[in-house]
Copies of this chain bind each other. A is one copy, B any other.
């Protein structure tokens, strides 16, 4: 066998490179009791409630105008948000706060930015009756659904009660929303032991996220959503937005600018960021958080690494057939979006 020196050198170089890579691989940090935990697939929901809730989630007849549904601002094609700074409501009203994603919202310890709802069912009634959102009333929403024979039948079958109630409506909506978890992100795969699920840069970004202190608030299955924290710890947060945060609920001045820490799951899809939607991009959001919450100015490269990590938190998006809504009957009140 005749082997040229050149080939031999190439082979040795290749061998040594693969050894170096193997060593680098071996040196890579492995998951070890991380503060972020994988999302579990949804289970335990009542299928009839989920199917009914899915229809209601897409039904604009729960709004005064007949035009705005839950999905208008928590758009399941777009990470469960509207990707607007603050939402468009009835008569093109400008909403007071950024619409949080509905994805994984079942993992939040309370609902809304200020935590004024204890759970998803309590949350669901809010926007229907908010004059800047769907601008309806619970009674009128019940009347509309009651006038629709297929809904009457489906509510009866689902809840086995004689009348449709707002409690049934919000219960069904919550049951559907509980299914909107996004498991199996690349980061969760890495947590589960699939080492090559994230790149070296993404791992670097994660370790920086962890070691610089971001993970102190953004942890758990939702990577957030389990505490109130002050927006602007080291420096005050400057904004035109009038929300007082938790203080609006508690009445305590100490709670001013305390907001529920948002989930970072699917954060790649849920721009713009913060309660006022002021950060248009993930890079801006990371830079601001570093300075205001940690007193740390991340370098461009550090920001880029953290952003790369954050994009590994995008999980499997909800996958379901677009629901077909039961038609109104002749008795169903017709909406007039331009009524005074």
Task: Please list the residues of chain A having a beta carbon within 8 angstroms of any beta carbon in chain B.
Answer: 58-60, 65-67, 72, 75-79, 82-85, 88, 91-92, 94, 268-269, 271-272, 280-283, 317-325, 327-328, 330, 334-338
* A324 touches which of B77, B94, B283, B336 (Cβ 8 Å): B77
* A94 touches which of B75, B325, B330, B338 (Cβ 8 Å): B338
Question: A306–B76 Cα gap in the complex (Å)?
Answer: 39
| A66, A72, A280, A328: most-surrounded residue (chain B CB, <10 A) | A328
List B contacts of A281 (CB < 8 A): 330
* A337–B92 CB distance below 8 A: yes
Return A268 CB to nearest CB of chain B, in Å: 6
Residues of A contacting B: mostly: loop
Chain B residue nearest to A91 in the complex (CB): B92
Q: Count identical subunits in the complex.
A: 2
Question: A289–B337 Cα gap in the complex (Å)?
Answer: 26
List B contacts of A283 (CB < 8 A): 330
Given A84-B337, A91-B92, A280-B334; A323-B77 close (CB under 8 Å) = yes
List B contacts of A91 (CB < 8 A): 92
* A322 touches which of B77, B271, B330 (Cβ 8 Å): B77
Question: A193–B7 Cα gap in the complex (Å)?
Answer: 77
* A272–B334 CB distance below 8 A: yes
Additional pairs, 7, CB under 8 Å, beyond known A65-B88, A67-B88:
A58-B77, A66-B84, A77-B322, A77-B323, A77-B324, A78-B325, A85-B334
What are 8 A-B interface contacts by the 8 Å CB criterion? A58-B77, A76-B322, A77-B324, A85-B336, A94-B338, A268-B327, A320-B322, A322-B322
List B contacts of A66 (CB < 8 A): 82-84
List B contacts of A58 (CB < 8 A): 77
List B contacts of A322 (CB < 8 A): 76-77, 318-322
Return A277 CB to nearest CB of chain B, in Å: 9
* B330–A324 CB distance below 8 A: no
Return A151 CB to nearest CB of chain B, in Å: 13
List B contacts of A318 (CB < 8 A): 322
List B contacts of A324 (CB < 8 A): 77, 317
Question: A271–B326 Cα gap in the complex (Å)?
Answer: 12
9 pairs of A and B residues whose beta carbons are closest in the complex: A92-B92, A281-B330, A317-B324, A77-B325, A269-B327, A67-B88, A322-B322, A58-B77, A280-B334
* A321 touches which of B72, B320, B336 (Cβ 8 Å): B320
Chain B residue nearest to A324 in the complex (CB): B317
Question: A269–B325 Cα gap in the complex (Å)?
Answer: 9
Question: A85–B334 Cα gap in the complex (Å)?
Answer: 9
* A328–B83 CB distance below 8 A: yes
List B contacts of A65 (CB < 8 A): 88
| A76, A78, A271, A272: most-surrounded residue (chain B CB, <10 A) | A78
Chain B residue nearest to A311 in the complex (CB): B327
Question: A330–B287 Cα gap in the complex (Å)?
Answer: 14
* A79–B327 CB distance below 8 A: yes
